[in-house]
Amino acid sequence: MEVFIRYLHFISIFGIVAALAAEFFLVKDRVNGQEVRWIFRIDGFYGVAAILAVAAGLILWFGIGKPADFYTKNWIFHLKVGLAILLAFLSLPPTIFYFRNRKAKADEIIPVPRYVRFLIRIELFLLVVIPLCAVLMAKGYGYFG
Ligand code: HEM
């Protein structure tokens, strides 16, 4: 069961990375209505993968595997979870932009606000930092118990 939950945590993280990488390449300074619908669907997949990653992570924290204190008393783990929550919040404004423009005509040109592309880049940067926190805390670095 622990192996399955760890696998679920990893595979859903791969899903988050794949969806964000796709958004990075698809979200240009202007997109048409057809492209926005595609990006909105990819963003939906990102959301589902994120929910699965968090659910599996919480089960690994409180449910199975190492004792919960191994993580609760680890500042790098709390940094990791904090960055994951920040990632979730930073993903909201682009989602709202895609949602608001999802009914545009297929050939209608929609200018993409700079903040949308800027936030996608910050999210990708966080996806480089969070796994570093993960491998450190999994080995016990940051444990203060
Ligand atoms: C609230 C969200 C999250 C929670 C509660 C959480 C919790 C956990 C836990 C408890 C483990 C097991 C560590 C161990 O083997 O001791 C783990 C492993 C891992 N997590 Fe998360 N996680 C979360 C989000 C994320 C995110 C967003 C990413 C990447 C973007 C991530 C990447 C990893 C990686 C790479 C490992 C494997 C570390 C290793 O075995 O060396 N996690 N996570």
Banded pLDDT at 10 (limits 50, 70, 90): very high
Structure confidence by residue, pLDDT tens digits, 102-128: 999 999 999 999 999 999 999 999 999
Ligand 1 centroid to residue 61 C-alpha, Å: 9
* Residue 65 backbone zone (phi > 0: left; psi -120 to 50: alpha; other: beta): left
Structure confidence by residue, pLDDT tens digits, 48-86: 999 999 999 999 999 999 999 999 999 999 999 999 999
Own/partner pairs, 103-107, CB within 8 angstroms, 24+ separation: 103/33, 104/32, 104/33, 104/36, 105/33, 106/32, 106/33, 106/34, 107/32, 107/33, 107/34
Pocket of ligand 1 (CB under 6 A): 9, 13, 53-54, 57-58, 60-61, 66, 71, 81, 84, 127, 130-131, 134-135, 138
Task: Report percent pLDDT > 90 for the chain.
Answer: 99
